[in-house]
Amino acid sequence: MRRALSSLFLILLALALWTPCARAQVVTPAFSSDPDLEAGYRHLYERQFVEARDTFEKWNSQHPDEAFGYVSLAASYLFEELFIQGVLTSDYFLDDKRFLGGITGKPDPERMKNFNIEIVRARSLAQRRIKKNSRDPEGLYVMTLVAGMESNANSMLLKKHLDALKFLKEANANATNLLADRPDAYDAFVALGCANYIIGSLSGSARFFLWFGGIHGDKQLGMQQVTKTAENGHYLKPFAKILLALSARREKQNTIAQKFLKELTDEFPSNPLYAAEYAKSLGRPIPATVGPAQ
């Protein structure tokens, strides 16, 4: 009897010690497959931005304390503006003046306003998590995406290049901390890769100046990092594919560009951009049924 009670005590003690660990492994949206979030991102890559936002807003209403939903909404506004401005095209990437200087016009102010609203919400919720635990993977993941998107918006759309570098450095730091604990967070590699590739594309004098500010760039490393997201990523996998394909066009690596553009064309047939860019990478006319992206 005494031995049985002793065994029961050990079992209960083990359960008591195990339960907090189990709670600590709560599945969070950034590191799981949520069908509604999957549907929202599919709408996004199909350029169905209204449908994407409807899906994300519905998800947010059911998960108001999850930062990932708000960063997804922010992404929908940023991606829409990038598509409209022709940023995600070879015409943009192969034009050094635009690639390094930004769009020729101005972004839609209402769209950028909505983008900033969602960025603030996502940042606030992520910071709340990090305040409780500085290594919180969900918080670091969202902060990586937030800073990365703010860097893209400032460099490509707003042409505020110093602000873009500040956010780029922040994204880099958050991604590095995240990947130290979660090397499987493949979506974060796209932020590191963008930073390395864009800075590595600057002139030698510009890179020398940034080096003193602790900002470094390496084009080859950047493409390797984006490849990790393009091959193993989750929600940002298609985004990494288009970035990698267009960067490969810049580097005259058309075989790589064709591979990923073909995959995007097959996966998202209702988005004419991918078919148009695939045709360009093959040196063929843009399909008559597709035409240039509007």
What residue ranges in the chain does DSSP mark as E strands?
none
Q: pLDDT, tens digit, for every residue of 238-258? A: 999 999 999 999 999 999 999
203 is a domain residue: yes
CA dist 112 and 164 (Å) reads 15
pLDDT at 26 over 70: no
User: Using one digit for the tens of pLDDT, what is the confidence trace for 29-61?
Assistant: 878 889 999 999 999 999 999 999 999 999 999
Question: What's the gap between Cα 152 and its chain centre?
Answer: 10
Which token pair is 62?
């059911």
Q: Which position has the higher pLDDT, 245 or 26?
A: 245
168 pLDDT above the threshold of 70: yes
User: How many separate domains does the chain show?
Assistant: 1
| Cβ neighbours for 260, distance < 8 A, ≥ 6 positions apart | 230, 241, 242, 244, 245, 248
- Name the residue with tokens 């991918």: 274
Domain for residue 8, yes or no?
no
Domain region containing 95 = 30-280
- The two three-digit tokens of residue 248, written as one number: 């490969």
Output DSSP code: residue 286.
P
Structural domain includes residue 118: yes
Asked, for residue 97, whether it belongs to a domain, the answer is yes
CATH number at residue 238: 1.25.40.10
Where do runs of H (alpha helix) occur along 216-253? 219-232, 237-250
**pLDDT over threshold 60, residue 180:** yes
Distance CA 136, CA 193 (A): 22
Residue pLDDT, tens place only, 57-80? 999 999 999 999 999 999 999 999
Q: DSSP state, 31?
A: G
Domain-embedded: residue 261? yes
